[in-house]
Structure 1
């Protein structure tokens, strides 16, 4: 698979689907999902294939993950009757719940899908809303879709610049994207990454934490935060963030390596501070016996604990 380009893999998967070789198509889409985790379409395609294979539990996970992406507009040809990514995700999810015997939950999901379609199609809005507000609501929503689409286009441009290691230019493009859509957690994640490459770690951390605030169950936000904290030598906080990334589903060799490295750094740092504490106690004991008054010793102890040993307690 690695020898083929993305479009070639998609074409091959499409041919496999035509030949009803759905298991092989699922493997290709799974490969694309791993290689391009920020792209929703391979995930959607895999979800659809899994439903056709009646693997509803696996398909349900993919459909739920689709809801973590921004609700971008999609082509009618891709999913007839659905105008946005979340709309088709709810349809796929409802199908899974229905086949798994959870009819009530499936109906709730279809209602959510209907609400999305009502707010994204001006004609549908006019069917349920009376009065002068009809045009305004439709116009505002159309503008919102255009804004999200423009922001996503900028994000992809920034990604291409990042691949070329043009980090400053990439960051500038991500900033433009966030001006259009400040709640796009994918852009915040990308900005956190590129700012860390520019060694602007404090600003990078802000974007990583914003990413987590916007989507508290997306593992990459915690991964970004953990990597940045590690670079700041805040090993205890980095270890916690990376563990949360693992908890929310991130599974790759690099994450495991980072967790092990953060654990090792944290252990070494703790051991070093314990040695320093032992030496400090010895020095203070000698000073107390021979040279320094008690008030001075007390001030020295406070200073040592605040600056060097505070995170041990």
Structure 2
């Protein structure tokens, strides 16, 4: 590795990842981490590979090391959906805690990540507002966070037609109207949101998720986008993801009446899943112990027979062994004896 440059090592690791040779890629990233302890990218790359390899404890250590580094900005190309190093570190650590069955820790870290992203978005909005004010020569106008109807009359007409069809429970007709509107303006926030909702009603959750994600992409502080996504994940029984998305919706001020019920239900389901995992783990351990006891019992029985026939001191040994074998067989095989 020492003969290769940093860029060549990164390229080699990327190729190994594409070939699904993650263990080999981890070795390269470990070498880079050792040589460049203050560089975040090798650490992040190794953490991501370890998660894919399901080595969650090792990945968690890397995520915690990232939190000790300065919280530098990250581009969306490196870690989609994360604006800073600490944001992606919290996301990776939450994933590890989730897989390790520590749901409360995972939820805490996801809230921290959301707080970071909210601050970043708010900061960007303030800078944008200041810039607009300067360009307008101090004009005091400001944009509202609640989306307005489309200035395009054709888009707005189709949206209202879709809304009327939705009220009449003609969901296919409603979807058709929304899709026609999106052909004219694919970035209309309200139409994307409505499209996600009608697809939820039609049970097409994967398709609905695309439009909910569009809402978040178009306006990362609009709570309805997160709410739509949370409802979809909830219906797909992806309760951990739904819970974190509902948390984001609440952070951005959602006022939907059913969100608290869904959050509570998701938490209960996650707890049931965690309890079930513990039960399965305990059951496996018990089965293993029972197996070893059975083998040990058989060995003792065989040894007892050998000693019965070949020991000179039959008198005392015989009585003790028969008693011992009887007790063991009653203890472990009494229910099928």
TM-score for the superposition, normalised by structure 1: 0.46
Bigger radius of gyration among the two: 2
